[in-house]
Chain A
């Protein structure tokens, strides 16, 4: 045991050169550890790659808020300590009297950092339901036990960089941007201000340096750590894109920061849950008419949005709920639109296929019609000279439409800043791509337009490709085409079970092997960029948000009948509209 501790000490000393706290307290805690360790025989290291490791930490109830101090009752120590969540810059002095709060943590002090880690850890540990010794271990954390992550001071990561950039929206739609509203910065980033983490680059090729199993005690301690311990960013290998008329393609590696990862995870999970909720509501007949669900394709919407700005433009076809979300719509508005209530994003007058936000032109019901519209938006971007571009999406079914080829021609002739994106989910309604298209290389169908074929189930791949494409457009080279290979779990729409033209096995296979959310989750967990609990917590929050939205969507009243004839013309004096019979004269205002 002593060797373990000394290894820890030595390891940490060599790794991070941080100051150790005073010998005496260290020794005291070490002795305590030994005492406890001897009592507990079994300590197994957690399985690192277990996708759902058994939680050794109870989910913190309120990770972002300061918690009450958690007395370490098991420790026969004469140093009552009050530990607080590291969400704040308070520091706790280990030797201090219990109820005192200490001063703001200074970033220059390693001691304080360690102590704050201690405090965090204690917080975590105290909520665990696990063996006693683990709680007792906490004071040991006086000593920086982790050989890995808590290291030297490095310049504090600017919180600003981590915040998603939100274009200032002055539109008529006062919807909040999901990237900020529904994706609050995770607790970890609050740490970022003072707790600075060195940049560690991991690659899937190397072993991520997790604590070694022989340092069992330390290991437990490490895993019990909180946001302070996570890898701030990692680089991942992504699939190479097939290229058409391009010399180089997007990079083969993508860097993902912890914050980005959590944000993508949250948005994708929100999208997934929202679509599943819509499925439920449709089956209850609360949603009527058309409902084309997007689950399975989340990586496309999130990846694309990550590659462009909110000041850019986007237009898509009818499978549009996901894009409405990424483009600034809230879940509440979207669901209320689906249920046809006055709180809907189009006041209940549009429905599933006709949702609009600033710089998002729907939601279009006529297959393929949105492509020329998108090129028109791109024309306006070029005309007005604002260095914006338009992302113009269509499906594999629409890809055979004549007007799309007309659009390719004009966009290319006039060098419009337009990214054409074909979301190839293998089926155009019930017709598989082999049965519909003489050439299924949709990325080549632009002929004279350069193209890429991208793995649409990997959000990073989509993001990098979109960035590459955006760069191409913004540099004035004209349009570019991307084919995203993706998959939809649901049928074409709610009236289609989705199994008459494909097998359940196929759907299951994609779900288990290529699910975009799982892929991101695995990446983050296996690189220690997030904890299982944290992600679960996000899931819980998302679920709650969706529940609230569904509640709103089912209880909000339908639009008033007075609204029936409004919005025929814009900026026009009120006019009279004939009702169903000659005596009914209805009023229409702009």
Chain B
């Protein structure tokens, strides 16, 4: 009886409902998952899948993670695989890299990427460059993950975006997910990747729920690193963004749609290697480009995208100069009003779109 009701209510799920032979009232396909839980699931699944995978970082074990991302993992996997470290980033990042060299697959968590600066030598000189320096003898399969960029009220030393810094270096892959599906698929891909991957999360996104597709719930769901996704189709202008700013772009696009401006929103997903092709294809369609990011403008992600556009085939398709919407070029202040005005807001995006389109 229940399955009949299912069938009547949502035809598209009928087959799956019948095949699964479950009796439940709600359509099973789309599930609401927060980014935090998606990350947790990804790590859980990968820890289960490969014995060599382990997690180390500050407070990841008994504290369940500083932001609760690794909740439950220590209880499930124990001390050997979920390791609490002392507050010694350079030391434990080096240990993680050494373990990767010797055959394990560590996930090294930085409580925020600001602290990764303590260990940046290990990330760049010991992890990123080693495969090249050894001419292919010594791979380093490691993931460095943690929250990146601005949070809320944490002030200057805890709000820097490191996407540009890490993306500068060959030998690293730099990934920046936006929603839950991104988070899960990309983290799984990063853990399975045999190369050093810097996985930039966002603290403000942790608690945001997203609908996650059927496919994304599978244990083998992996999003390829290096491929951007078009979140919203459009024809007047292309908005390229990563991480939390993708959400803002979509919100701005919704507002602009009411005025008849159709924005194409691209979620970069991976910063390095950059999916220039996706951006170029889109620009060749819309003829206008804006990049949106939370980090500082000088030598930032947007700067790189614009440079590539200039050097590539899409330049000829631009009807207006491509511009960047970025964080303000200052250390992050504390007071709410100041902080709010230090990072792009929806109104800034809308303003820039209209300027670019000369509206």
Contact = CB atoms under 8 A, between A and B. Distances in A.
B133 A380 contact: no
A379 B126 contact: no
Given A406-B86, A570-B194, A373 B132 contact: no
Interface string A71-86: 0000000000000000
A365 B98 contact: no
Given A379-B98, A407-B95, A572-B195, A361 B122 contact: no
A362 B102 CA distance: 12
A575 B91 contact: no
A413 B101 contact: no
Contacts of B138: 356, 361-362
Nearest to B127: A373
- Residue of B122, B135, B195 ringed by the most chain A CB atoms within 10 A: B135
B93 A347 contact: no
Interface stretch (A13-21, A28-36, A500-508, A561-569): A561-569
Interface string A354-393: 1011000110111001011111111111011000001000
A349 B132 contact: yes
B90 interface: yes
- Residue of A356, A357, A383, A582 ringed by the most chain B CB atoms within 10 A: A383
A313 B102 contact: yes
Contacts of B90: 372, 402-403, 406
B46 to A, nearest CB: 16
Contacts of B131: 567-570
B300 interface: no
B134 A366 contact: no
B96 interface: yes
Nearest to B225: A572
A369 B97 CA distance: 11
Contacts of B273: 575
A172 B132 contact: no
Given A365-B125, A406-B90, A582 B312 contact: yes
B311 interface: yes
- Bin chain A's interface residue count: 35 or more
Given A349-B133, A383-B54, A410 B88 contact: yes
Contact of B135 (A347, A390, A577): A347
B327 interface: no
A380 B102 contact: yes
Contact of B126 (A348, A369, A383, A575): A369
Contact of A403 (B91, B137, B170): B91
A383 B166 CA distance: 29
A570 B98 contact: no
Contacts of B93: 372
- Residue of B54, B103, B134 ringed by the most chain A CB atoms within 10 A: B134
B99 interface: yes
B195 A570 contact: yes
10 contacts: A372-B92, A372-B98, A376-B96, A377-B101, A403-B90, A407-B95, A569-B173, A572-B194, A572-B195, A582-B312
Interface of A: 171-173, 313, 315, 346-350, 354, 356-357, 361-362, 364-366, 369, 371-381, 383-384, 390, 402-403, 406-407, 409-410, 413-414, 563, 566-572, 575, 577, 582, 590
Interface of B: 54, 80, 83, 85-86, 88, 90-104, 121-122, 125-126, 130-139, 141, 170-171, 173, 194-195, 273, 311-312
Given A173-B137, A380-B99, A570-B131, 19 more contacts: A172-B136, A346-B133, A361-B102, A362-B133, A371-B94, A372-B93, A373-B126, A374-B98, A375-B95, A376-B102, A377-B102, A378-B98, A403-B88, A410-B86, A567-B134, A567-B136, A569-B131, A569-B171, A590-B136
